[in-house]
Amino acid sequence: MPSEGATVESVTEVVAFDAQDGDCILIRCIGEEPFNILIDAGRRGTEQAIEAYFKTLEPTERSIDLFVVTHIDSDHLAGAIGVAESAFLSPLVKEVWFNGPQHLYGSTTDVTEMSVAEAFRFCLAIRAKGWSWNGWFDEGAVQRGASVSPVSSLSLDILSPSQKQLLRLGKHWERELRRMKNRTVKQVVEMGQGEFDVAELANAPYCRDTSVVNASSIVLLMRHGDHRILMTADCPAELLLEGVPSPVEVDVCKFPHHGSGGNFSHELAGRIKSKCWIVSANGTNSHPEPASIARMLVAAQGGAMVLFNNSHAEATLWKDPSVERRHLLVTKYRDPQSPWLTLILQDGELYVRDAAPD
């Protein structure tokens, strides 16, 4: 672990909360210019874990300098309403990135005219709280090609969505929200039944994600000092490949769409090389699918660490000694006694905190 007297010049903490079947990740850039980025807020109730975490920090460290709600799926958005309604958390928010109806339709339509369940409620909450809304984009859409540097040590590149994807979402806004249900995903392997072949799992049929909502996800490539972090939300593999046109090496990457096999193709696995991968899932829809992690391992060759924010059959499947040895895989799981799992990047090393005992 980092020593007590270690410099905070280049420390980045990635906190993965128990977000049920959704995403909620806090990135803390620690140094002379501290900056906190909260990406999504999971299902309703996740805001309680976020609040508990911030209460462990010193008062001067309690800020949500940027709150990114990547897209309108309930497992990313519902907890954001809770953040807005929290008397403790809402004053901490300085800036929100969220592509609402006025960004989708290319007009200034008043959000009070919309009737789209949780997305509508969150739009109203942003206005009610007076939060800056896409302020760094002159209140326009957050879309591919933009780059923002909130402080000198931090840069954020927007890799997705494109304007085309936002327009498609605008056309299907209400229909897609009504269709948000658990999707059926076939198991590639019966969990926990002896040894399995990683190469065989990796070669499972690939069926691309065609969701208009997932295609609208905000994808961020962050650079804090020497640290590089790729946050993929639920973006389909084909759009990630457009945003990452050449191989990229990062310290941390979140598996897109909770590790769905339809969002992580062989080509994408070969495009992204990461020291550590984060899976945010609780087994709903069989996420993470074995094919996704298998494709990553086949492409990685030199091994990788995978952090799971929940322990369940689809996650603990990978705590297999023979697989760990053969593929140089290190797995870490959130301690059930803690609502979050923390990854610390410092001095070229990765440290894990709040993990279950090995």
Q: Quote the pLDDT of residue 196.
A: 65
pLDDT band at 192 (very low <50, low <70, confident <90, very high): very low
pLDDT tens digits along 30-50: 988 999 999 999 999 999 999
Q: Quote the pLDDT of residue 223.
A: 96
The CA distances from residue 187 to 204, 258, 260, 294, in Å, are 10, 15, 11, 14
pLDDT band at 73 (very low <50, low <70, confident <90, very high): confident
Q: Quote the pLDDT of residue 184.
A: 26
pLDDT surpassing 60 at residue 266 = yes
pLDDT band at 72 (very low <50, low <70, confident <90, very high): confident
pLDDT tens digits along 267-302: 999 999 999 999 999 999 899 999 999 999 999 987
Could you tell me the domains of the chain? 11-172+192-353 (3.60.15.10)
Least confident of 78-87, 117-126, 257-266, 327-336: 117-126
The CA distances from residue 121 to 72, 100, 114, 126, 168, in Å, are 11, 11, 9, 9, 21
